[in-house]
Amino acid sequence: MGIALSGLLTVVPRQGRLREQSCLGLVYISFIALVALPLVQAFARVALVTYMPLLLVVLLALPPAFYHYVIAKTSSSLSTRIPWWDLALPLIGGAVCIGYWLLPLPDRETMFISGDLPPGFLPSALALLTFGLIVLWLGVSFAYLVAILRRLTRYRAQLRQLYSDAEERDLRWIDVMMVLLVLIWVTGAGFLADENFADGRLLVAELFLSLIGAGLMVLNIFAPTTQMGPNIAVEETVPDLKYARSALTSAHAAKLATRIEAAMQKDKLYLDPSLSLQKLSQHVGALPNQVSQTLNQEIGASFFDYVARWRIEASKPLIMAGQESVLAVALDVGFNSRSTFYKAFNRETGMTPKSYRAFHQRAA
């Protein structure tokens, strides 16, 4: 609870835009409501019959809240409005919650404390609706998960067209968060089964709370420190279709490719850790979309891969010399981190820096 409250008060206000703040705030509030359940059971059991229906609304609101947080985080400009279909399930859950609150107190105690179904049409209808909403929630949660993965895939592909430090901006922590959310959803279902069929003997509740704590720690650590590209527009089309109406001729593209190669070979622009497509475009005197088109169609590489290739070539003599650490070499040639350098080096050479040096030393 302390981790959740600290994140709500310190992480949420540090988000850039209103939609990021509101969606992430709703994620934190959902987690707060979930982790508060044991406290209500232990210290305010009389309020349990009022609190339990509210958890249905929280469960239904969590997936769309996190989805729209990712959308806001990966968009350059965005309306603060959320489509009605993303509000439908939480609103239906809210109506069911109100229906539970309208039941007489003895009926609510029978349902939420005794675990039995009282007589009457309304309790039966509410129980059936709750079951249906939970089943629907599982399917909808999976759909949101797929939508987030597709969004991140397009976003990361666009990053590689714009930045040489794309891996510092690609929101990999969201992948970890999604894994934890899936585990939380699965464990939540196990928690309900444990409470109803095993009387809490399987310790699923402890695992459930531990996973929520891990998710909150990921949010608290990474959400306020994410380095973003200022003008990312997620492309829905592949590069060939995107450039279909470009006025860049083959002759002009060939000349531009020569200027780009010269900028790397003579001016060593790749040594700039924050090199972006915009900076390269200004240096060669061309529009960013023309440089991007030349890289993709004439040279055959995204901006990120192209710059990384030059950096790896520059690192090879330093690796062979063996006078500096791998981190020092990575920083010398323009990478921002050791891990990014390792990935790029392995992708270009098929070996780690250490094995590359050992291989060439044996060959010599």
Top mean pLDDT of 76-80, 165-169, 181-185 is at 181-185
Rounded to the nearest 10 degrees, what angle do helices 18-35 and 48-73 cross at? 150
Are 135 and 247 in a shared domain?
no
Whether residue 234 is contained in a domain is answered as: no
Of the three residues 156, 190, 225, the one that is the final residue of a domain is 225
Mean per-residue pLDDT for 68-86? 79
The C-alpha atoms of residue 279 and residue 289 are separated, in whole angstroms, by 12
- Determine which of 14-28, 159-173, 250-264 has the lowest per-residue pLDDT on average: 159-173
**The pLDDT of residue 111:** 84
Q: Would you say residue 231 lies in a domain?
A: no
Looking at residue 344, which CATH number applies to its domain?
1.10.10.60
pLDDT at 241: 46
Distance CA 94, CA 85 (A): 15
Is residue 198 a part of any domain in this protein?
Answer: yes
Q: Could you give the percent of the chain with pLDDT greater than 70?
A: 88
Q: Residue 79 and residue 82: Cα distance in Å, rounded?
A: 8
| pLDDT of res. 324 | 86
Residue 243: per-residue pLDDT: 53
Place of tokens 């390269």: 280
Which range has the worst mean pLDDT, 11-25, 134-148, 156-170, 235-249? 235-249
Q: Is 75 helix (H, G, I), strand (E, B) or coil?
A: coil
What are the pLDDT digits (tens) for 251-287? 888 889 999 999 999 999 999 988 889 999 999 888 8
Alpha-carbon distances of 308 from 161, 275, 303, 343, rounded to whole Å: 12, 11, 8, 10
**DSSP secondary structure string, 90-147?**
HHHHHHHHHHHHHS-HHHHHIIIII----SSHHHHHHHHHHHHHHHHHHHHHHHHHHH
- Best CA proximity match to 53, nearest among 17, 96, 107, 102: 96
pLDDT at position 230 over 60 = no
What local confidence, expressed as pLDDT, does residue 227 receive?
54
Q: In the structure, what pLDDT confidence band is assigned to residue 195 with cuts at 50, 70 and 90?
A: low
As a whole number, the mean pLDDT across the chain is 84
Domain that includes residue 75, residue range = 2-225
SS3 call for 163: strand
Give pLDDT, residue 238.
46
Show which of 225, 249, 283 is a domain's final residue: 225
CATH of the domain at 36: 1.20.1070
Min mean pLDDT across 149-158, 236-245, 323-332 is at 236-245
* Position 182 in a domain: yes
Asked if the model's pLDDT at residue 82 lies above 90, the reply is no
163 pairs with which residues across the strands?
276
Q: Are residues 277 and 215 in the same domain?
A: no
pLDDT at res. 246 = 58
Check pLDDT > 90 for residue 83: no
Local confidence band at 249 (pLDDT 50, 70, 90 cut-offs): confident
Say if residue 12 is in the same domain as residue 146: yes
Reported as a single tens digit per residue, the pLDDT across 29-53 is: 999 998 898 888 888 888 888 998 9
Q: Is the predicted pLDDT of residue 326 greater than 80, yes or no? A: yes
Q: Let me know whether 217 and 249 are in one domain.
A: no
Q: In this structure, are 221 and 330 located in the same domain?
A: no
Contact at 8 Å (CB) between 8 and 25?
A: yes
Average pLDDT over residues 129-158: 89
pLDDT band for 226, please (50, 70, 90 cuts).
low
Q: CA 82, 86, 92, 98: dihedral to nearest 10 degrees?
A: -40
Which residue would you say has higher pLDDT here, 236 or 136?
Answer: 136
DSSP reduced 3-state for 45 = helix
pTM: 0.80
Q: How buried is 257 (Cβ within 10 angstroms: 0-12 exposed, 13-18 middle, 19+ buried)?
A: middle
Q: Which of 335, 336, 299, 330 is nearest to 316 (CA)?
A: 330
Given 157, 190, 225, the domain boundary residue is 225
Task: Determine the residue type at 84.
Answer: W
The verdict on 34 and 182 lying in the same domain is: yes
Q: Evaluate the CA torsion angle 160, 83, 140, 99 in order and state its sign.
A: positive
- pLDDT value for 313: 92
Specify the pLDDT at position 14: 87
In this structure, the answer to whether residues 123 and 43 fall within a common structural domain is: yes
The answer to the question of residue 271 being in a domain is yes
Both 294 and 327 in a single domain?
Answer: yes
Helical pair 250-265 and 277-284, crossing angle rounded to 10 deg = 100
Question: CA-CA distances (angstroms) from residue 346 to 107, 320, 340?
Answer: 64, 15, 10
pLDDT at 328: 92
What average pLDDT score do residues 220-247 get?
Answer: 59
318 lies in the same domain as 194: no
Crossing angle (nearest 10°) for helices 2-10 and 204-222:
20
pLDDT at position 171: 85
pLDDT band (50, 70, 90) for residue 5: very high
Q: What is the number of domains present in the chain?
A: 2
pLDDT of residue 331: 92
Kindly state whether residue 284 falls inside one of the protein's structural domains. yes
Crossing angle (nearest 10°) for helices 303-321 and 353-363: 50
CA dihedral 126, 128, 133, 134 (to 10 degrees): 110
Residue 197 has what pLDDT? 53
